[in-house]
Amino acid sequence: MKAFLAGFAAIVLSICAAVAAVPAGAAQKARDPSFLVHANVFNDRGFTVPNALVRMRRAAESNWRWKAVSDGEGEIALHVPPNDLYVLRVDAKGYQVLTQNVDATQTDNADIALHLAPIGGGKTQ
């Protein structure tokens, strides 16, 4: 029984040491609030566009930090830090690049419909 209790105590101590080793900011970072960008990508005829690359960056920066690819229904969702201004960019084969500003300072989410124009200005097939 003593051996069992000693082994059990060793396991409890190792778990406590592992928990204490987690940086204090790591637990808080997992709970930090985020701004949800939900978007639907459509073509000029109102059909959804799958496989469109959607990227976002802070308006004050030049590097694209977040990205998603639209699913079969043309939908994407991105979580970005709140209380900032962003630029969203959509790239899809056969369509002109679309950029749009996103303001994450007033609410906690944005639901956006993104309408792409075909390259060359004609209607898509």
Q: How does pLDDT run across 17-63, given as a tens digit for each residue?
A: 555 554 555 544 555 679 999 999 999 999 999 999 999 999 999 99
pTM beyond 0.75:
no
Residue pLDDT, tens place only, 68-91: 999 999 999 999 999 999 999 999
Give the residue from 69, 68, 72 showing the smallest Cα distance to 48: 72
CA distances from 20 to 8, 12, 16, 26, 103 (A): 18, 12, 6, 12, 38
Q: List the structure tokens of 48.
A: 């959804």
